Amino acid sequence: MRVAVLGLGLIGGSVALAARDRADGVTVAGFDPDPAALAGALAGGAVDEACDSPAAALEGAAICFLCAPVTVLPALLAETLAAAPADCVVTDVGSTKLGIVRATDDERFVGGHPIAGSEAAGIEHARADLFEGAPWYLTPGTRSSGVLYERLYRLISDFGARPSAIDAETHDRMLAKVSHLPHVVANILVAQAGEGGDTLPRVGPSFRDATRVAGANSGIWTGIYTTNAEAIADEVEAAAARLSDFAGLLRAGDAAAIESWNESAREDRRRLLEADLEGGVLHELHVSVPNQPGIVAQVALALGKGGVNIVDMALAPAPDNRSGSITLWIAGDDPAAKARELIGQLGFPVLEPS
Amino acid sequence: MRVAVLGLGLIGGSVALAARDRADGVTVAGFDPDPAALAGALAGGAVDEACDSPAAALEGAAICFLCAPVTVLPALLAETLAAAPADCVVTDVGSTKLGIVRATDDERFVGGHPIAGSEAAGIEHARADLFEGAPWYLTPGTRSSGVLYERLYRLISDFGARPSAIDAETHDRMLAKVSHLPHVVANILVAQAGEGGDTLPRVGPSFRDATRVAGANSGIWTGIYTTNAEAIADEVEAAAARLSDFAGLLRAGDAAAIESWNESAREDRRRLLEADLEGGVLHELHVSVPNQPGIVAQVALALGKGGVNIVDMALAPAPDNRSGSITLWIAGDDPAAKARELIGQLGFPVLEPS
């Protein structure tokens, strides 16, 4: 089976590597408008054949992946559908889905969105195992062919990903809530903190965590914001309304309501992380450590050797800093107990708040 | 010199330990309404003397630290000023300052706020080095005695902290912006994502980072929200207005304005982190790593051994492991170059975005 990959960055390169390494009898034909990326893909073993046009890569292809920025996808999709064989399934990997799904009624197209890789970019970071265990949303249109959908589904499963079907609008609204809105909020927080001019405030660890994605890659994110504008605007306005409501609680000085609001948030975050994990109840461990370099590594290493998976980690008050308190989130009662035991063996006190 | 510490949790216990270990000729008298905390402080060597009342601890004291929740402080301050010797400087460690500074005109009082320790609580996590390198704000009132201020300043410097004076209102407004607002926003994000009922969305790493402090300890945070309500409400409303403005950009489909807004945020975050560090230009390194346990530890360990300080770290797309990309922030050109070299020796590709 011939697989065409159009666009050989981190995601396209990883799709190509995964297709060659993890599926039987697949050859990969790749194209990228950047000759260096194309040469890198060939040299790195991501593609069997480096093609000089999308049409050349599509010749005889059974599956085609469009791995380009979301703003480029509609034109690339039209070009691809014009050139692709009649029984070739065409999919994309864009972060927003409604626009591209609405762009065609062709039965060969099934939208897709793997949840993997965002920070590092470029073919040199591509890996065959990038999608191992990763959610991979598929958004078939009403006319998408069942046979073609199933072929795509099987290949993505071979990659080690967890494909699941979702309608494009639900996908975009969900991502607006849990991914796009947090990016907007991070940008707002840094803009507001940075407005003071020359005398910038000292920022703490909660600020650093909350703004880690501020100013994420404009090449990707402007496309996400513009192609999912309505859903994101709805979420942004809902968040603005919630903020205004909370400002009202503050000005009213309603301590009981503020405490109850805060407790609800604690419970909401726990529910959300647990739902995401399928790993059992989430435990939050606070570890006090001495003020020495290498301690974070020591703790992470001990848990890694002991087979305990760290779901999330925060260094408090600050990793640059001189004072060492590590918060670890561990899923499941047994792994959490094991973590407490391993950290205890290192001689560090562990506190699990009630 | 006798130092009284009223309240022996994480901060009070650490103040006591630092005073005994790091200053010459100091004896510490401690009080806590919880007998277990008091006994723990005595057993752990935090206090020379465990007292059964604030007044007993204050007898002959030259400096007194009030280490209680912010809502308790006004009453405790009044009691302390009534019992303290005439030349005893009295300070607190509360996270908000305007309320307590306004509560008294006594020349013996100087407000304080060390930026250290927030996640772990309790005397068992107290450490003599908790304040090493940490900012410690001091908010003297207009009537505060210069001699007493200087005595307090010297002891805090002995702790290894970096004391700096700031007026209480500026302090509270700054903290509202860089600490209290991010906490409010985290709560809003989880509430909004959690509102769907039983079918909770899958949350990504940006969501996890942005909401790490959601539902922080209500015992501490309700007090912060209520004692700094006006300043926080102002910041919350300003953020709501910014969100509404951005929703307008989205609905107008203004891609150029959206991109420019995003680029400004990138620059704002860089400026803020650099201003905080005094360590030179901040470098952002993306490291691609294989999908194996222990890799984060390996990288952290290599940098620690090489003397490279990690300012901030993010695991992407997810620390729970399916795919490994690590983003590191390193301050200074030389440390960043060293980091690239050390990580290169481990065989992992490093990308520094322009």
Answer whether residue A279 shows pLDDT above 80: no
Substitution target in B206, B263, B291 with the highest count of A β-carbons within 10 Å is: B206
Residue contact A185–B243, C-beta within 8 A: yes
C-alpha span between A120 and A142 (Å, rounded): 34
Q: What is the pLDDT of residues B213-230, one digit of tens each?
A: 898 888 889 999 999 999
C-alpha span between A28 and A5 (Å, rounded): 7
pLDDT at res. A306: 77
pLDDT confidence band for B317 (50 / 70 / 90): very low
Q: What is the pLDDT of residues A169-196, one digit of tens each?
A: 989 998 999 899 999 999 999 999 988 6
Strand ranges (DSSP E) for A134-179? Answer: 135-140, 162-165
Residue contact A304–B293, C-beta within 8 A: yes
C-alpha span between B330 and A178 (Å, rounded): 28
Least confident of A36-40, A58-62, B204-208: B204-208
Measure in Å the smallest separation between the Cα of B235 and chain A Cα atoms.
Answer: 8
Pairing label, strands A109-114, A89-92 = parallel
pLDDT confidence band for B319 (50 / 70 / 90): very low
The average pLDDT across A271-291 equals: 73
Contact list in B for residue A280 (CB cut-off 8 A) is none
Answer whether residue B314 shows pLDDT above 70: no
C-alpha span between A18 and A132 (Å, rounded): 10
Contact list in B for residue A253 (CB cut-off 8 A) is 226, 229
Answer whether residue A98 shows pLDDT above 60: yes
pLDDT confidence band for A346 (50 / 70 / 90): confident
Substitution target in A237, A323, A328 with the highest count of B β-carbons within 10 Å is: A323
Contact list in A for residue B129 (CB cut-off 8 A) is 290-291, 322-323
The pair phi, psi for residue A338, each rounded to 5°, is -60, -40
B294: nearest CA partner in chain A: A304
C-alpha span between A30 and A8 (Å, rounded): 7
pLDDT at res. B318: 45
Answer whether residue A320 shows pLDDT above 70: no
Tokens (6 digits) for B191: 């509430």
pLDDT at res. A318: 45
Q: What share of chain A is helix, strand, coil (3-state, %, to 5)?
A: 50, 15, 35
pLDDT confidence band for B239 (50 / 70 / 90): very high
Say which of B275, B287, B304 has its CB closest to residue A297: B304
Q: Count H helices, E strands: chain A?
A: 14, 12
Nearest to B137 by CA among B167, B106, B159, B179: B167
C-alpha span between A344 and A329 (Å, rounded): 16
Strand ranges (DSSP E) for chain B? Answer: 2-6, 27-31, 49-50, 63-66, 89-92, 109-114, 135-140, 162-165, 282-289, 312-318, 323-331, 350-351
Please give the DSSP secondary-structure letter assigned to residue A174. Answer: H
C-alpha span between A266 and A247 (Å, rounded): 19
**Per residue, what are the HEC states of A256-302?**
HHHHHHHHHHHHHHHHHHHHHHCCCCEEEEEEEECCCCCHHHHHHHH
Peptide bond into A317 cis (omega under 30): yes
Residue contact B272–A203, C-beta within 8 A: yes
pLDDT at res. A319: 43
Q: What is the pLDDT of residues B262-307, one digit of tens each?
A: 999 999 988 888 776 555 677 888 887 775 656 666 777 778 777 7
Nearest to A38 by CA among A25, A48, A51, A27: A51
Chain A / chain B CB contacts < 8 angstroms:
460
pLDDT > 90 fraction of chain A, expressed in percent and rounded: 54
Contact list in A for residue B287 (CB cut-off 8 A) is 120
A215: nearest CA partner in chain B: B266
The residue among A22 and A149 whose pLDDT is bigger is A22
pLDDT confidence band for B261 (50 / 70 / 90): very high
The residue among A344 and A260 whose pLDDT is bigger is A260
pLDDT at res. B346: 87
3-state secondary structure of A88: coil
**Mean of all residue pLDDT scores within chain B:** 87
Say which of A127, A313, A323 has its CB closest to residue B134: A323
Please give the DSSP secondary-structure letter assigned to residue A178. Answer: I
C-alpha span between B228 and A251 (Å, rounded): 10
Contact list in A for residue B332 (CB cut-off 8 A) is none
CB A7 within 8 A of CB A66: yes
Say which of B202, B277, B312 has its CB closest to residue A276: B202
Show Cβ contacts of residue B22 under 8 Å, excluding neighbours closer than 6 positions.
B128, B158, B159, B160
Q: What is the pLDDT of residues A333-345, one digit of tens each?
A: 888 888 999 988 8
- DSSP string over A180-194: IHHHHHHHHHHHHHG
Substitution target in B246, B259, B354 with the highest count of A β-carbons within 10 Å is: B246
Measure in Å the smallest separation between the Cα of A56 and chain B Cα atoms.
Answer: 31
What Rg do the C-alpha atoms of chain A give, in angstroms? 23
Q: Which amino acid is at A196?
A: G
Measure in Å the smallest separation between the Cα of B166 and chain A Cα atoms.
Answer: 12
Residue contact B215–A268, C-beta within 8 A: yes
pLDDT at res. A353: 65
Measure in Å the smallest separation between the Cα of A34 and chain B Cα atoms.
Answer: 18
3-state secondary structure of B293: coil
Residue contact A214–B266, C-beta within 8 A: yes
pLDDT at res. A118: 54
Show Cβ contacts of residue A195 under 8 Å, excluding neighbours closer than 6 positions.
none
pLDDT at res. B42: 96
C-alpha span between B213 and A271 (Å, rounded): 15
What Rg do the C-alpha atoms of chain B give, in angstroms? 23
pLDDT at res. A217: 86
The average pLDDT across B138-162 equals: 88
Measure in Å the smallest separation between the Cα of A273 and chain B Cα atoms.
Answer: 7
The residue among A192 and A298 whose pLDDT is bigger is A192
Answer whether residue B71 shows pLDDT above 60: yes
pLDDT > 90 fraction of chain B, expressed in percent and rounded: 54
Residue contact B192–A177, C-beta within 8 A: yes
Strand ranges (DSSP E) for B55-207? Answer: 63-66, 89-92, 109-114, 135-140, 162-165
Least confident of B3-7, B152-156, B279-283: B279-283
Residue contact A243–B244, C-beta within 8 A: no
The average pLDDT across B139-158 equals: 87
Residue B125 has a CB neighbour count (10 Å cut-off) of 24
Say which of B204, B319, B322 has its CB closest to residue A179: B204
Tokens (6 digits) for A339: 């973590």
pLDDT at res. A119: 55
Say which of B179, B229, B242 has its CB closest to residue A207: B179
Say which of B125, B259, B316 has its CB closest to residue A288: B125
Q: What is the pLDDT of residues B14-69, one digit of tens each?
A: 999 999 999 999 999 999 999 999 999 999 999 999 999 999 999 999 999 999 99
What is the side-by-side order of every strand in the sheet holding B323-331? B312-318, B323-331, B282-289, B350-351
